[in-house]
Amino acid sequence: MSPLKLRLLRTGFRLARVAPNGSGRMALRLFSTPFPRRSLSPRAAKVLAAAEVVPFVHAGLALRVFRWHATPRVEKPAPTIMLVHGWSSRAARFTRWVEPLTGAGFDVVAFDAPGHGASEGRRLTMPAYVEALAAVAERCGPVRALVGHSMGAGASVFAVAGSELTGLQPVRAEGLVLIAPPDSADDIFDRFAAFVHLSAAQRRAMKAEMLRSSGLDHGLDVWSSAALLTARPVPTLVVHDRDDEEVPFADGVAIAETPLADLHAVEGLGHHRIAGDAGVIARAVQFLASLSESSGRHSDLSRAQPASHLRASA
């Protein structure tokens, strides 16, 4: 967003403070509307063109779902890894992951969320993203693990460990790779509200409309990845840049302090380049390849004991 557009947006919300309910609903529409869809790079387009496109309709919307098969092909079904992109992104964000994962013996599934990429739709909320993710996982699963970036990381946690929040059957994955993950949905709303200069009343109205329109009967403060993975631990690799300017490094640290989680801290990659970095991909593939052994090793651990330590690697 250009400085001029941001200034005009903030001025508009400031003038609308006399009507907090209406302007709060307007803020939610803005918050839930992805940025304009960008064109694909030739490299990403080539990788997507090589995928099997899985016909899929969810909630009346045609979603673009891609599948790549393990190489070399094996007689028994290969384990499936699902790639879950972030806000205003698309499956193409993960095209650099396809060759390393298929070469390691995995099938790979990725999809454009509603309102993103080549999928239909105009708006998206976190509950709607989790529902779409779970539907794709059911169609293309079973899923060995989910790899999520930013909002996609949060959606992945809620899909696997947040069934009490979403009311959905959990996606039964053996592991998670969370790249630049936000912890609290409530904090995400607060950061957006501060960015556009909403008043306290406008902020409350925006959150209330979010809960009402999504049919949720609890506050956003319970939508915490760290809390969910503490109550329902899953082997997890958290990858976060120490100087991430969009999602604080502290969010990744909080999630990595949960049971069965490790932190892989990086520097100089920021919030976006981290999702396509060769070193990050190699570390994630190593983690995914070790999941079967790790899940067996941890199977006798309590699923309700919080971690008291943090394991980090540079």
3-15 vs 20-31: helix axis angle to the nearest 10?
150
- Least Cα distance to 50 among 4, 108, 127, 93 occurs for 108
- Total-model pTM: 0.89
- pLDDT score recorded for residue 232: 95
Domain ranges of the chain: 41-184+223-298+308-313
Identify the pLDDT of residue 52.
97
Token duo for residue 110: 């990725």
Residue 162: CB atoms within 10 A of its CB come to 27
Structure tokens, 261: 């989680």
Q: pLDDT above 90 covers what percent of the chain?
A: 75
Using one digit for the tens of pLDDT, what is the confidence trace for 206-245? Answer: 999 988 888 777 777 788 999 999 999 999 999 999 999 9
pLDDT of 116-174, one tens digit each?
999 999 999 999 999 999 999 999 989 999 999 999 999 999 999 999 888 899 999 99
Query: Nearest 5°: phi and psi at 108?
Result: -130, 135
CB 172 within 8 A of CB 156: no
- Check whether domain 41-184+223-298+308-313 has CATH 3.40.50.150, yes or no: no
Yes or no: say if 262 and 234 are a contact pair by the CB < 8 Å rule.
Answer: no
